[in-house]
Amino acid sequence: MTPPTDDPLVSTDWLAAHIDDPKVRIIDASYKMPGVLPLPSDDYLRTHIPGAVFFNVNTIADPDDPRPHMFPNEKQFARDVSALGISSGDTVVAYDSGGWVAAPRAWWMFLSFGHSNVKVLDGGLQKWLREGRPTHSGQVTPKPGKFHAKLDPSFVRSRQQLLGNLETRAEQVLDARPRPRFEGTVAEPWPGRRSGHIPGSRNLPYAELFDSSTGTMKSLDDLRQAFADAGVDTAKPIVTSCGSGVSALVLTLALYRLGARGTALYDGSWAEWGLPDGPPVATGPA
């Protein structure tokens, strides 16, 4: 497999060199589990990369869906992104303030809604800070942009589609949660959810795909080996899943870097599948 020329990652050096480009828009897409404080929005107000606006995964979502941060419709995504000062001709760079959680989610959302010129900052805010680069605090109020959105439904899978896949096994399902959660040996942190995993799915904890000492994503060779060790054939269709459709996109980002296209996200993920009256659940190793 030949690595793509359209690598979705950009370096801190690249961003520093383009930070004053009016066509480069920076978003802080940080996310934390419910109940974890301080809120990502408060972290953003305290410290962010100059010019960055806050992309709230919880509100750029379907307000009428009880499941956490499900994809919004095209009209809402276009409206919310335009309000962040982003236009369809801009290059969007997403970053996290922590370790590789929601910046890939934002990246995938932009791709899903037809905006291909979107990148993820390798190493995120932590690498930016370690390098002594400048930061700002407070709210950024941009001039509204003009963003047009058109959802490609092939980027997302529903529970019904995953149920059908239990029979056909046409797509490999890859779970990004830590192994104890996948194997069902610990309580699921999402309230009221059963423990375990989708029957037949594989497990590759997302944290294993980046270097904890530098915060950057591992090399292509290391990524390729990680997927092979998880029993995943990157040349065949893959659906990624996790707790609520956020960290799964770290796997998708890594697959994209390896040249895999046509992957999809199970947006409901375990927050939906793990409900008490949900579909069958498996426990133990993959």
Tens digit of each residue's pLDDT (9 = 90 or more) over 64-94: 999 999 999 999 999 999 999 999 999 999 9
Please state which of the four CATH numbers 3.30.70.141, 3.40.250.10, 3.40.50.620, 3.10.20.440 is assigned to the domain occupying 154-273.
Answer: 3.40.250.10
Domain positions in the chain are 9-151, 154-273
Per residue in 150-188, pLDDT (tens digit) is: 999 999 999 999 999 999 999 999 999 999 999 999 999
9-151 against 154-273: fold identical? yes
Say if strands 202-203 and 238-241 run parallel, antiparallel, or are unpaired.
Answer: unpaired
- Separation between Cα atoms, residue 20 and residue 277, nearest integer Å: 51
Which CATH superfamily is 9-151 part of?
Answer: Rhodanese-like domain (3.40.250.10)
Provide the pLDDT for residue 2: 39
- Separation between Cα atoms, residue 44 and residue 136, nearest integer Å: 9
Catalytic (active site) residue 81: no
To which H or E segment does residue 265 belong? Answer: strand 264-266
Tokens 């589609």, located at residue: 161
Tokens 């680069």, located at residue: 133
Catalytic residue, chosen from 242, 253, 255, 265, is 242
pTM: 0.96
